[in-house]
């Protein structure tokens, strides 16, 4: 069975990796799909940078592949033969948002299910927004980001003069 874990991943966090690791145990193939979110007006990282971060962060998982997609998520699911979307939820607000999106996706593609995984306790407060704040304030990133990318993220942020 094939599943998709979509997100903007600006940047990918340890909370995302936790969801990926748990979902990878449930499915034969998991696509981590780097999406372009029109609601997020000022991304910190380019789509190419985010894609590289995700590829590095998921390389250790044999059945996980990172790809980017700019279109409708349901079209990507059809292209990949996926029957499940995996989403993470840290709280009731996240759950409600993901539930609403699942209804929209099922109205477009009725056989596409959404599996909402609750955040694991150590990552309940993790978000890309929080990680971007830590990057801006030049905090140690290994607490928040996968170790495979923490240094790369810090270097790129410094090159872009992000932060202090």
Pick from 87, 90, 111, 109: which is nearest to 99 by CA? 87
Q: Which of 55, 87, 128, 132 is catalytic?
A: 128
In the chain the beta strands, taken as DSSP E runs, fall at 2-7, 29-35, 64-69, 84-89, 113-118
Active-site annotation holds for 107: no
Side by side, the strands of the sheet bearing 84-89 are 64-69, 29-35, 2-7, 84-89, 113-118
Q: How far is CA 10 from CA 13, 23, 107, 132, in A?
A: 9, 20, 28, 8
Q: Which of 29, 56, 80, 90 is catalytic?
A: 90
Active-site annotation holds for 90: yes
Which residues, listed in sequence order, are joined to residue 69 by a DSSP beta bridge? 35
Spatial separation of the C-alpha atoms in residues 131 and 11, rounded to whole Å: 7
Active-site annotation holds for 40: yes
Q: Which of 40, 60, 136, 143 is catalytic?
A: 40
Structure tokens at 89: 């939820």
- Known catalytic residues are 16, 40, 90, 128
């Amino acid at each position: 069975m094939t599943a998709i874990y979509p997100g903007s991943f600006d940047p990918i966090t340890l909370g995302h990796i936790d969801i990926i690791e748990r979902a990878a145990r449930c499915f034969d193939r998991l696509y981590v799909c780097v999406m372009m979110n029109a609601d997020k007006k000022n991304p910190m990282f380019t789509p190419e940078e985010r894609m590289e971060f995700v590829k590095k962060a998921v390389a250790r998982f044999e059945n996980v592949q990172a790809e980017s997609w700019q279109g409708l998520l349901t079209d990507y699911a059809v292209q990949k033969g996926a029957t499940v979307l995996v989403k993470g939820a840290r709280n009731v607000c996240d759950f409600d948002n993901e539930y609403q999106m699942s209804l929209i996706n099922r109205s477009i593609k009725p056989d596409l299910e959404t599996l909402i995984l609750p955040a694991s306790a150590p990552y309940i407060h993790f978000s890309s927004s929080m990680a971007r704040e830590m990057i801006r304030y030049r905090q140690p990133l290994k607490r928040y980001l996968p170790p495979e990318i923490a240094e790369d993220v810090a270097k790129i942020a410094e090159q872009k003069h992000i932060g202090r």
